[in-house]
Structure 1
Amino acid sequence: MALLAIGLGLGWGIHILPDHGIVEVAAIAILVAQKSLVQHVRAVAEALRRSIPEGRAAVAMIVGRDTAAMTEAQVARAAIESAAENLSDGVVAPVFWYLILGLPGLVAYKLINTADSMIGHMTPRYRDFGWASARLDDVLNLIPARLTAVLIALTHGWVDPTPILRDAPKHRSPNAGWPESAMAPVLNVALSGPRSYHGVRTDYPWVWPEGRRDAGPRDIDAAAHALWRVWAVLFAFAILFALI
């Protein structure tokens, strides 16, 4: 709650500045992580084109699962999943909270989301004081995650919600399953599925199990292109809102 109050206070302080519209546009560009997200995702595609070991090293920078024994398809799927999830909490959610609460909402969300990334882990080290930021981040992303699924689908002409509604609730995350369940049929690539953390394999359900499992660099590129489509729609709304 302290982070929420600090974020709202900082955002409101900027909002009352003269020419705050220009300042808000700059804040949106800085705090919404679209360019960085696309760069990290495309870096995996380029590394994977060179070799599988380089692809593993690149994807290890953006995912927390074990990568040492990943196949080309597993590297590609991991990058696509990261792209979909981070589109939601790194791009759509900040813009959503900006449109709902203005700059105070955007700043508050980014503080909470950053805290979740740093300490919101259910490990012995962080469990006692990181759970609050993790749960609050989950709550703040409930609507944006579902909105992200809608935006991915609509910007690619996909209007059948059946696979999204079928697969998203099976996901291990209350929010990440929604953008993944939209991205998977758009690319026709099965996502989620088995993976290992700290040497322990877990058989998670597949998202879009009827899709291809032989993903590669081209599929990562297609996911990056999907990010830009959604970003174009969101940025247009955010700029109009900032200048009103």
Structure 2
Amino acid sequence: MTLVLAMLLDAALGEPRWLWDRVPHPAVLMGRAVGWCDARLNQGPARRRRGIITMILLGLGALALGTLLEELGPVVEVLVAAILLAQRSLVDHVAAVGDALRVSRGDARRAVAQIVGRDTAAMEPSDVARGAIESAAENLSDGVIAPAFWFLIAGLPGILLYKITNTADSMIGYRTNKYHDFGWAAARFDDLLNLIPARLTAMLIVASHAIWYAWPAIVAEAPRHRSPNAGWPEAAMARALGVALAGPRTYHGVLTDFPYVNGTGHKDIGAPEVDAACRALWRVWAGALGLAILLALVFH
């Protein structure tokens, strides 16, 4: 029942600015820890080994902290788990893009730049909407379902281990000269921890929208994504909304011609489709909450 309460608390309060303007958010502290390791260990020879050592140290620290916090009782467990879930903040960020699309192209570009890593300066409205929906799908898995899954499996140690790994992957898990070796362990461990949650997220999207007939197409399209996991929720969301996702986009001034997901879906999309994605996020959250309640009743 702890997970149920944490999900409800996160959905109700999200990330209150009055609190996080005064004290560092745990994600900020995790980022500082990863940055400290990067600055001191990502140098010299044997960088892959140093990256593996970094992930071992960060992982052990997360497990130890989670174990310590669990000793403080169920109230602390609920509060920490709620803080590490991101349903409300995800919906708020995606909805902001839809609102901005109704105002101006410039506002829309600035809003979507908060949640995507691609170049946004020359985005057309349909590109903005597509980016927001893709981010919604991917972060539904990374920020909601995966943390909830690992909390269900291993409590606070599990969710903290997942979050520090996901943070490390977002900071150093790149195939660049600087991080190709040092970030290898972070990227591979993140892939491993997301293996089940990404597919579970796709199933929840399909179930909440009653589109089981689309499952074979989702299974076929998901592996086309550059990530072994992100393609699953993205392909499912594309089918649930009837839109085409992915496709060409620009990173650091270089156009990359990714294939479309659900290529026969609508490509000329905008604020209404972003709004539909927000409703889908809540439908999936409700399904996950129902599943958590069911599991709590069965096992407790």
Match of 2:63 in 1: 8
Instruction: Using the TM superposition, give the Cα deviation of residue 235 of structure 1 relative to its aligned residue in structure 2, in angstroms.
Output: 3.5
Contact 2:65 2:157 in 1 (8 A): yes
Query: Could you list the runs of 4 or more consecutive aligned residues of structure 1 that deviate by over 6 angstroms after TM superposition?
Result: none
CA RMSD in angstroms comes to: 1.8
1:109 aligns with 2:148: no
Contact 1:99 1:241 in 2 (8 A): no
Match of 2:205 in 1: 152
Query: Radius of gyration: which is bigger?
Result: 2
Match of 1:125 in 2: 178
**Which moved further from structure 2: 3-12 or 47-56?**
3-12
Whole-angstrom distance in 1 between the partners of 2:282 and 2:158: 23
Whole-angstrom distance in 2 between the partners of 1:26 and 1:226: 25
1:135-173: CA deviation from partner (whole Å, max 9, x where unpaired)? 111111011101100001101111121220111011111
Provide TM-score, normalisation by structure 1: 0.93
Q: Which has the higher contact order (CA 8 A, sep 6+)?
A: 1
- Which runs of 5 or more residues in structure 2 are unaligned? 1-55
Match of 1:202 in 2: 256
Instruction: Using the TM superposition, give the Cα deviation of residue 236 of structure 1 relative to its aligned residue in structure 2, in angstroms.
Output: 4.6
Instruction: Using the TM superposition, give the Cα deviation of residue 237 of structure 1 relative to its aligned residue in structure 2, in angstroms.
Output: 4.5
Instruction: Using the TM superposition, give the Cα deviation of residue 224 of structure 1 relative to its aligned residue in structure 2, in angstroms.
Output: 1.0
Percent identity reads: 60
**Which moved further from structure 2: 77-86 or 153-162?**
153-162
**Structure 2 matches for 1:61-100, cutoff 5 A?**
61-100=114-153
Q: Secondary structure at the match of 1:192?
A: strand
Whole-angstrom distance in 2 between the partners of 1:12 and 1:181: 36
Instruction: Using the TM superposition, give the Cα deviation of residue 100 of structure 1 relative to its aligned residue in structure 2, in angstroms.
Output: 1.2
Equivalent residue in structure 1 for 2:190, among 137, 143, 152: 137
Q: Secondary structure at the match of 1:112?
A: helix
Contact 1:44 1:79 in 2 (8 A): yes
Provide TM-score, normalisation by structure 2: 0.77
Instruction: Using the TM superposition, give the Cα deviation of residue 107 of structure 1 relative to its aligned residue in structure 2, in angstroms.
Output: 1.1
1:216 aligns with 2:274: no
Whole-angstrom distance in 2 between the partners of 1:150 and 1:50: 35
Contact 1:95 1:238 in 2 (8 A): no
Instruction: Using the TM superposition, give the Cα deviation of residue 238 of structure 1 relative to its aligned residue in structure 2, in angstroms.
Output: 4.5
Instruction: Using the TM superposition, give the Cα deviation of residue 104 of structure 1 relative to its aligned residue in structure 2, in angstroms.
Output: 1.0
1:181 aligns with 2:235: yes
Contact 2:204 2:288 in 1 (8 A): no
Whole-angstrom distance in 1 between the partners of 2:185 and 2:127: 32
1:41-88: CA deviation from partner (whole Å, max 9, x where unpaired)? 111111111011211111111111111111111100000000000000
Whole-angstrom distance in 1 between the partners of 2:286 and 2:140: 12
